[in-house]
Structure 1
Amino acid sequence: MMGAGAIEQFQKRWQQFKYVEGLLYAVGFGGFVYLLTHNIFYGILGLLMASGITFWILKPWKISSENAVGYIDAHLPEAGFSSGLLLSPTHELSDLSKLQQYRVATQLEPVLSKLRPPHNLLKAALVMFGLILLGLAGRFVLTKFGNPSGGDSSNTEQITFAPKDTLSTTAEIPELIATNITIAYPAYTRKRTLNTSAPNIKAVEGSRVTWNLEFDGDVQEVEMDLMGERIGFTKTQESYRLTKKLEASGFYSFTFKDDSGNDYVSDLYSMEMVTDEPPMVQIEGLDNYTYFEFDDDKRLMLNTNISDDFGIDDTYIIATVSKGSGESVKFREETVRFDAAIPKGNKRTQLQQALDLDALKMDPGDELYFYVEALDQKTPTQNIGRSETYFAVIRDTVSDAFVVEGNLGVDLMPDYFRSQRQLIIDTEKLIADKPNTSEKDFKSRSNELGFDQKQLRLKYGQFMGDETEMQAAPGQVSSTEAEGDGHAGEEGEDLLDEYSHRHDSDNEHNLVQEQEHGHENGEEEEDPLHDYLHNHSDPEASTLFEKSLKAKLRDALNIMWDAELHLRLYEPEKSLPYQYDALKIIQDIKNSVRIYVHRIGFDPPPIKEESRLSGDIGDITNFDKKEAFEYQMPFTSTRETIARLERLILGEKQFDDRDSALFIDAGNELAPKAISEPLKYLKVLQGLRDLEKVANRNKENFKAVQKNLLEVLPEVADNPMKRAEYQDEINLLYLKELGVYE
């Protein structure tokens, strides 16, 4: 039968898809049952039952070849509704049917393997994952709320005791018949008192935990061993009672004695303290920095979200207004309450408040720093949470100018001494942006940088006494010479006239030409007030700096001329080296005017001239100081325990009371680390505690405890010691060749 095998393969793939679809449904239901019951037997049973039901509904075994032929004819035009001929024997067909059979088989061969049978695998997979997620949610709900507060917990873990030493066969062992642990949470948490028999405790900080132990038999001295601290129980009627406030996490166990003096000890249990976290405060939809103009509506809208694990008690806004600047700055702090009432005890709340800067009496130039602070209901000390700090500034419309009076002190290091660095940064940015900048914009930006360089040069010129541009650039004619032949410029306009240095001064057209007043005898009359005046006509005499700095500052001004020139000529690459040279000189000037405080040091006694250069050193002794200290290696008891366990494994000694005390000390050493990493250390501490029971004192337990101790023992830092030195010349040469001293 030509092509019958391809149809059979399609039929098998269809059946396989149906089986996989039913299996997905079954796995989802089995996982759901397992997660709810936490029992593998029930999970497998649910898987088998769901498989049977889904297979019975889908019936994959009932997909026949006729079903496959019908699906192929309906979805493949190449079949020509004649794919059924492929299942018929060739000798039973007519010549025309044989021809059709051959044609259909030839056309179906390349496309039939690509045809996918009908299935719902995606739907089945979604149902499977949905059932598993539903089982996880149900497991979470049962774990969190399945044990109602106030009822007894049906926890399988119970407190068990074992004797420390071997008992006589006639001794009766007291039995713990009832355990009741009561956890009273702090009142502010609004959580009900929890009664349980599970010894592993997890409660909020400040909870009061009460243990009630009831024994069948005569018992003496019931105690709790809390990380080395012994706490005795109080006997009340037929039970023993102990109440302790939960203040820290740790590990504990119980011990008691019977009438015969035999000691019994329990396993090690955990006591975990849950810290009450401070409130979480977050302001949404507000920028960290907000600026207002003088005529703006100066209001800030605060949308605040506050959450706490047990409840919010109060919240408010802390606003600090800053007025003034420098040493005259003043701060005023205010507490702004929310207009809306704050619901006490809610774990989550949203508040809105408009913060009016005018109501805070802020003026132009003032700054506001504010944040939202929230308190929870923890007693006796509340936790405080706060948001980020936000800033609001009212821009100042008045700019103050720095004026130097003749009778006032002068700040030799003004803020604009840092402007040359900013010019360098802007010039480098202009050079980097040149390929992507139009020629017009490039020239405009270069010219603006030249103007900024000019302004900086004029500022420095003021400190040289240059109230106007008195110093011409190197190689430039003076203003008088320019006036002398300035008429020649009327014939043709100078293209560089706008960018030349002689026109940089705004007041140059107002300057009065200097005139020389000579005398007939060739001698200039001496001015009697010359020594008492601040002569602005002489730049060398009018500087505000000391004499040694004038030359450096003049060099910086001359270099700034060249830097400005190349910027005006649209050559920032050539201007950049001059700017760096000017910055270097400015830094030297700034460092040279720093004031240093005289160092107070040791003043040696005067040398006796009669003993000087005599060579007598008889009375001179060397100072030699020796200090001995004992290095204390950390985790000493733990290391001794490892060595003692090795001797116990080899059978060199028997277990005695000293071993028990040593193992307790080792456990106390590791207990602080077990609080931060309980999963790593709990097994080790439990193993040490088990060695106090006589039934566990065997070679296998000794090896297991020793192995666990070696795994958790931290590494020791290197002990300071003198290194070995190789004095032999051959060894030194050999080590040198090996590259030891490289």
Structure 2
Amino acid sequence: MTAVRVLLDRQREAQWRSVADTLAIGLPAVGVASALGWRLFGLAGLIAAGVFGLGVLSVFAIGRARRLDRDWLIGALDARLPGFEDSSALLFRDRDDLPGLAGLQRARIEGRIGDARAVDLRPAWSLRPIAASGAAAAVLTTFILVWPAPGSSARTTTDGPPAPGAAGPPAITAVRLRITPPAYTGLPVREQTALDASVPEGSRVEWIVDFAPQPTTARVDVPDGRATPLLRDGSRWTGSRPVDRPTLYRIAAEGLPRQRLHRLDAVADVAPVVQLIEPDRQLLLVTPGQARWTPVFEVSDDYGVLDTATLRITVTRGDGETITFEQRSTALTATGEARRRRFSTTLDLAREGMAPGSDLIVQLVVSDNRAPERHIVEGPSVILRWPTDLGLADGLDSMAAPVLPVYFASQRQIIIDMEALIAERPRLDPARFVSRSDAIGNDQARLRNRYSQFMGGENEVGGSTGGIALPTSDAPPAPALPTNDAPAASRFERPDDHPDHEGHQEGDTAPSGIGHAEDVLHAFGHAHDEGDAATLFDPGTRSTLSQMLNAMWSSERALRQGRPEDALPFANIALELLKQAQQATRIFLRRTGSDLPPVDLSRRLSGRRDDIVAEDPPPPVRTPADTVVAEAWRALDERPTSGRRPSLALGALERWVRENRGRLSDPLALGAAIDTVRNEPGCLDCRRRLRALLWSAMERPPVAVRRREAPGTRGQRYLDALR
């Protein structure tokens, strides 16, 4: 085993020499790829290219080393050591498997194992490939680092930048932007070679520029602001400025050809968004037995929300003009990550002073971590209401069930119920049939009372049959007396027939069976047509409503008597009349008279008709607001024209952009395109881009009604024949 270990050590040394030789040849190529990735994609490109290149090179090196296996070792030993007598393979076989002469030969070779310690089996270095790879990598890396990055301002109106050290005007050889976002954003400092950038509002942008040859002075020009000087530090020029709003800029230097404009977009910080998670609506009622309430809010922001917020709590008590309220604030602590936090608290209703007829209103006030001025946002108000109808007991645990609103069945639904009842008549006993017919009649009575109010009628109140006495003949029954024992108003009398409408007091009539949430007007007031904006119906509409109410009454009477077959025709007539009434137009009249012009009595009975109709004034001649843009758009047209093409007035176009900046979708892009066309009049792509931007900036003309063209001879003959 000692002899085999010595031979394996020689093999391992040879394999490591193979790996080192492969790395020496391939590492310069990895360096070239990393430099190219850095120039194209920055630090991320450098890391990606380096990792990928090293991975490929490692795989290749391991594969090359695996070729130096045991067969190679046996062949190398037989070739280098004559004393092994071409029997090196016997050293790697089990001694017990070697019979006779083979065993004796192995013993002889083991005695000569000292010769193997002195032999060097490592392959020679690939000096020529290593030198060629290093030289080529050095040349390519230098070329990549010196060549201007894509998107840099090294593109000038000249044919190309001069070589470093050559005489002539200066040129930009390299440029980088270092962007430092505000601290509250939590974003890292980044660098890029592209001169167009989108940065958070308030970021500081630093320019790092290399010139060749070096100019005397350099700066960053802003068309609408103050220039930023660039300071020289060796061969590098640097300068920085904060970016609070979107702006255009160009790099300028003494002797440097005029560069194109680039843009910096300032992305404004968005205010936090407050969402109500629980409950799922902003108004809810206290449930029987409820003693606590837990509202939950969720706040999201682009850079983060503070972990503390303020909850405003307001409790109102009383009714009408005697409402009082108490307001206090409490601090809440959030849960969750900074960009999406949740705030919640549990409120004790008894401790907050809730009582029947009171409201508990909560509102969350949050702020983000923006500096120096934070965004303070007030969330939605959530109301927990304890209606008066629920307050029949002193404690929260013994509240009565809420009174549900009464939902009116439509006339169409009443007809459907009547038809279904008629179809089920064979399967129902007479008592059940009459009971269901009376229930439908009750729905018909409610609907009739509802529409009767539009004609000045009162809601009828009474017993279990809806307040209508069951008729015993075909004559209409006498209306039931209201609770104040006063004569009931007719369903068809005009509002003017009520002498005491102006003197209605609160509590004159008891609320009807209509629920508060559905019909507050009917429960707490009168729906008569009165007031400064009275709703009056024309005689035709009043007649239609009167006939509809009569038909509903006939339908109700038959249903009360258990005869839905006789009620169905009247219900259908009421539905048709209701459709006609819904299409009528209401007329709103004022109590004050109209302001008519005074009558000229001197012209009365004179027969003079002059000046009785004003002449139509001539239409005003208006200059279109986008005349400058339209002329510039036509001047940029590349198609040949027979007429005279207007000249391209870039100065007037720039003034138009400044005056109409508010209504343009992207004024910076339009301003940069105008500047580029001025600097490079021969650039065809630049002119096309400017023309496209002008087309989108022009205001669309309003749609006008065109006069119909006069018909021809055949058309006029056709129209005459139609007459």
Task: Using structure 1 for the length normalisation, give the TM-score.
Answer: 0.52
User: Is residue 717 from structure 1 mapped to residue 700 from structure 2 by the alignment?
Assistant: yes
User: Is residue 430 from structure 1 mapped to residue 417 from structure 2 by the alignment?
Assistant: yes
Contact 2:480 2:488 in 1 (8 A): no
Per-residue deviation, 1:564: 1.7
Question: Aligned equivalents of 2:546 and 2:665: distance in 1?
Answer: 70
Per-residue deviation, 1:276: 1.7
Residue of structure 2 equivalent to 1:366: 358
Residue of structure 1 equivalent to 2:568: 573
User: Is residue 232 from structure 1 mapped to residue 227 from structure 2 by the alignment?
Assistant: yes
Shift in alpha-carbon separation, 1:723–1:300, aligned structure 2, 3 A: closer
1:115-134 matched pairs, under 5 angstroms? none
1:36-115 matched pairs, under 5 angstroms? none
Residue of structure 1 equivalent to 2:257: 264
2:293 match: secondary structure: strand
Question: Aligned equivalents of 1:464 and 1:348: distance in 2?
Answer: 56
Residue of structure 1 equivalent to 2:440: 449
Contact 1:566 1:574 in 2 (8 A): no
Task: Give unmatched runs, 5+ long, in structure 1.
Answer: 1-32, 54-153, 401-417, 479-500, 509-533
Question: Aligned equivalents of 1:370 and 1:595: distance in 2?
Answer: 43
Question: Aligned equivalents of 2:179 and 2:547: distance in 1?
Answer: 83
Per-residue deviation, 1:189: 2.4
Residue of structure 2 equivalent to 1:255: 252
Alignment RMSD: 6.2
1:172 match: secondary structure: coil
Residue of structure 2 equivalent to 1:24: none
User: Is residue 316 from structure 1 mapped to residue 313 from structure 2 by the alignment?
Assistant: no
User: Is residue 281 from structure 1 mapped to residue 278 from structure 2 by the alignment?
Assistant: no
1:162-201 matched pairs, under 5 angstroms? 162-163=156-157, 172-176=168-172, 179=175, 181-194=177-190, 196-201=192-197
Shift in alpha-carbon separation, 1:281–1:607, aligned structure 2, 3 A: same
Shift in alpha-carbon separation, 1:219–1:162, aligned structure 2, 3 A: farther
1:602-613 matched pairs, under 5 angstroms? 602-608=596-602, 611-613=603-605
Question: Aligned equivalents of 1:291 and 1:453: distance in 2?
Answer: 31
Task: Give unmatched runs, 5+ long, in structure 2.
Answer: 1-36, 64-147, 393-404, 499-527, 530-541
Per-residue deviation, 1:249: 3.1
Question: Aligned equivalents of 2:481 and 2:423: distance in 1?
Answer: 35
Residue of structure 1 equivalent to 2:200: 204
Per-residue deviation, 1:646: 3.9
Per-residue deviation, 1:643: 1.7
Query: % of aligned pairs identical?
Result: 16
User: Is residue 546 from structure 1 mapped to residue 496 from structure 2 by the alignment?
Assistant: yes
Per-residue deviation, 1:184: 3.5
Contact 1:184 1:192 in 2 (8 A): yes
One-letter code of the match for 1:211?
W
Contact 2:481 2:488 in 1 (8 A): no
One-letter code of the match for 1:253?
R
Per-residue deviation, 1:353: 1.1
Give the counterpart of 2:375 among 380, 383, 399: 383
Question: Aligned equivalents of 2:387 and 2:633: distance in 1?
Answer: 72
Contact 1:212 1:241 in 2 (8 A): yes
Residue of structure 1 equivalent to 2:21: none
Contact 1:634 1:716 in 2 (8 A): yes
User: Is residue 302 from structure 1 mapped to residue 295 from structure 2 by the alignment?
Assistant: yes
Higher relative contact order (CA 8 A, sep 6+): 1
Contact 2:269 2:302 in 1 (8 A): yes
User: Is residue 290 from structure 1 mapped to residue 240 from structure 2 by the alignment?
Assistant: no
Residues 299-345 of structure 1: CA deviation (Å, up to 9, x unaligned) = 222344333232222423344555556x5384747454355x45899
Question: Aligned equivalents of 1:465 and 1:167: distance in 2?
Answer: 94
One-letter code of the match for 2:169?
I
Question: Aligned equivalents of 1:184 and 1:201: distance in 2?
Answer: 12
Per-residue deviation, 1:354: 0.8
Residues 636-678 of structure 1: CA deviation (Å, up to 9, x unaligned) = 347426525649999x99xx9x877578679879998996699
Residue of structure 2 equivalent to 1:3: none
Select between 164-173 and 575-584 the one with higher mean Cα deviation.
164-173
User: Is residue 733 from structure 1 mapped to residue 716 from structure 2 by the alignment?
Assistant: yes
Contact 1:247 1:273 in 2 (8 A): yes
Contact 1:363 1:394 in 2 (8 A): yes
Per-residue deviation, 1:607: 1.3
Residues 522-551 of structure 1: CA deviation (Å, up to 9, x unaligned) = xxxxxxxxxxxx996797899894349999
Per-residue deviation, 1:376: 0.6
Contact 1:312 1:375 in 2 (8 A): yes
Question: Aligned equivalents of 2:599 and 2:656: distance in 1?
Answer: 58
One-letter code of the match for 2:496?
E
Residue of structure 2 equivalent to 1:245: 242
